[in-house]
Chains A and B, each alone.
Chain A
Amino acid sequence: DADVTQTPRNRITKTGKRIMLECSQTKGHDRMYWYRQDPGLGLRLIYYSFDVKDINKGEISDGYSVSRQAQAKFSLSLESAIPNQTALYFCAIAPTSGGAQFFGPGTRLTVL
């Protein structure tokens, strides 16, 4: 079984809809992250969490919110989706010591 799972894997939605992307992990790592990937821009950090009570904004948090429901679960919400939020979204985890992050398979989101 994969260490990091993301659901859904693909989603098409319409402008203005609320969307939630979910991430869960089986490694017991404290740190969890949400990124988006756009062609030619690499990965950009949206939000990150170092434990259940610690949530931090990343580089591009506007238009997004997150919830760390448990150590193993970290969800990303788009309250009112817009077309420029069309992207590939990745969840990642890392141990408390930091360093390398390990990624889920990604969610491809299309906002029409």
Chain B
Amino acid sequence: AQSVTQLDSHVSVSEGTPVLLRCNYSSSYSPSLFWYVQHPNKGLQLLLKYTSAATLVKGINGFEAEFKKSETSFHLTKPSAHMSDAAEYFCVVSPDSNYQLIWGAGTKLIIKP
């Protein structure tokens, strides 16, 4: 069965320090993987996607994620957090193009001044 696990429900970092949001997946296929962001009282925005090209994927707002097949992970990182990064982040897997997206439960990122 396909699944996505976001390992932390909340992550708190100080402004200017690195961000790491962890995601593990399980899939029988070679999946596509996505990160979405949801700012408070806003809709969902695609941050980045992995679709079997380069394993290091760069997204918007300075975020990037690395696909590691051996670890079945797709962690999201950013070198330096900004106050505007405070939001909820969702890791999502799609086992193939005709399969529905499988959503993680989300990680709330808190930025301390």
Binding site for B on A (CB under 8 A): 33, 40-45, 48, 58, 90, 92, 97-106
Contacts and interface: CB of A to CB of B under 8 A. Distances in A.
B43 A101 contact: no
Interface of B is mostly: loop
A22 to B, nearest CB: 16
Contact of A98 (B9, B94, B103, B104): B94
Interface string B38-56: 0000111110010100000
Contacts of B13: none
Interface of A is mostly: loop
A98 B97 contact: yes
A106 B105 CA distance: 18
Contacts of A105: 42-43
Given A40-B9, A105-B43, A99 B94 contact: yes
A90 B43 CA distance: 8
Given A48-B100, A97-B97, A99-B97, A40 B105 contact: yes
A13 B39 CA distance: 26
